[in-house]
């Protein structure tokens, strides 16, 4: 996953959805999907496009955005659709910039602290008992099997899921949007949101801050979240993420 830096061809579907808007590619995922910022008379929108796949669907993401939007700040869905070969999601822009914008890469302590504190607020505010979605280990393993992924046997023995929250499902730094003051404005890319052990999110967030800001930021993240390290769960959920 990365910010596109080379020439990006605009898929015909994206151009039809954007109309006369100016398009700038802002993200490319690992399965060939692209996200564009569309700017025009209707303001700023984001067009998320990708090939139809078995990992996540934009329909599932739209459902999760609608549910999570009752409790936290997430993008408003404008339109969602798909056919046998491609899918798309258009959302309204949120104020702020994602946490790996150049400004925040230059201020890693502010960004990592915001990510940690924001993730704790995310977990505290979303009600587990009301959440219709799951991201628990058994569901993730079943989904991996349907996709033909062979998960190492050692990962089938998960630590006890004793501390359930509603997890983001992809708590990487770019999916946190920050205000100009350096606090959390909201969250994007909620296609895997669901109930799971809180360490399923924390482990991914910790990996991401090391990727995005350099080594040594995990302690800052955990301190801002307000939790002591749990090496067993951290290791397990990192390996599960990498395997699936």
162-190 per-position pLDDT tens digit: 899 999 999 999 999 999 999 999 999 99
Check residue 34 and give its pLDDT: 93
- With 70 as the cut, is the pLDDT of residue 2 above it? no
Task: Kindly give, in sequence order, each residue whose CB lies less than 8 Å from that of residue 9, ignoring residues fewer than 6 positions away.
Answer: none
Question: Quick check: 3 pLDDT over 70?
Answer: no
The whole-number pLDDT of residue 32 equals 81
Entry pTM:
0.92
Domain ranges for the chain: 12-92, 97-243
Q: In what order do the strands lie in the sheet with 176-178?
A: 97-98, 176-178, 184-187
Share of the chain above pLDDT 90, in %: 86
Report yes or no: 148 and 206 within 8 Å, Cβ to Cβ: no
CATH number corresponding to 97-243: 3.90.1200.10
Q: Which two tokens stand for residue 168?
A: 């983001």
Looking at the predicted structure, is the pLDDT value of residue 29 above 90? no
**Percentage helix, strand, coil, to 5, in the chain?**
40, 25, 40
Q: What is the per-residue pLDDT for 20?
A: 93
Backbone angles phi, psi at 126, to 5 degrees: -85, 125
The pLDDT assigned to 98 comes to 92
Would you identify the CATH topology of the domain 12-92? Phosphorylase Kinase; domain 1 (3.30.200)
Q: Is the pLDDT of residue 138 over 70?
A: yes
pLDDT digits (tens, 9 = 90+) for 48-99: 999 887 666 899 999 999 999 999 999 999 999 999 899 999 999 999 999 9
Residue 52 confidence (pLDDT): 84
User: What is the model's pLDDT at position 8?
Assistant: 84
- For the annotated catalytic residues, the residue numbers are 170
Mean pLDDT of 25-43: 89
């Amino acid at each position: 996953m990365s910010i596109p830096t080379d020439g990006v061809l605009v898929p015909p579907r994206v151009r039809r959805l954007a109309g006369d808007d100016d398009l700038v590619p802002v993200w490319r995922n690992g399965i060939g999907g692209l996200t564009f910022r569309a700017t025009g008379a209707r303001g700023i929108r984001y067009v998320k496009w990708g090939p139809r796949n078995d990992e996540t669907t934009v329909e599932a993401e739209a459902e999760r955005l609608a549910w999570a939007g009752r409790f936290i700040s997430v993008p408003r869905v404008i339109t969602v659709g798909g056919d046998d070969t491609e899918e798309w999601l258009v959302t309204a822009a949120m104020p702020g910039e994602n946490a790996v914008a150049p400004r925040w890469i230059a201020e890693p302590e502010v960004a990592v602290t915001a990510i940690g504190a924001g993730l704790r607020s995310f977990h505290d505010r979303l009600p587990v008992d009301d959440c219709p979605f799951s991201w628990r280990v058994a569901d993730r393993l079943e989904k991996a099997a349907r996709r033909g992924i062979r998960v190492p046997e050692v990962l089938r023995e998960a630590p006890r899921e004793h501390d359930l929250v509603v997890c983001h499902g992809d708590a990487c730094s770019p999916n946190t949007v920050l205000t100009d003051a350096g606090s959390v404005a909201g969250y994007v890319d909620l296609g895997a949101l669901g109930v799971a052990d809180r360490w399923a999110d924390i482990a991914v967030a910790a990996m991401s801050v090391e990727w995005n800001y350099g080594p040594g930021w995990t302690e800052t993240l955990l301190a801002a979240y307000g939790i002591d390290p749990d090496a067993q769960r951290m290791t397990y959920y990192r390996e599960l993420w990498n395997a699936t």
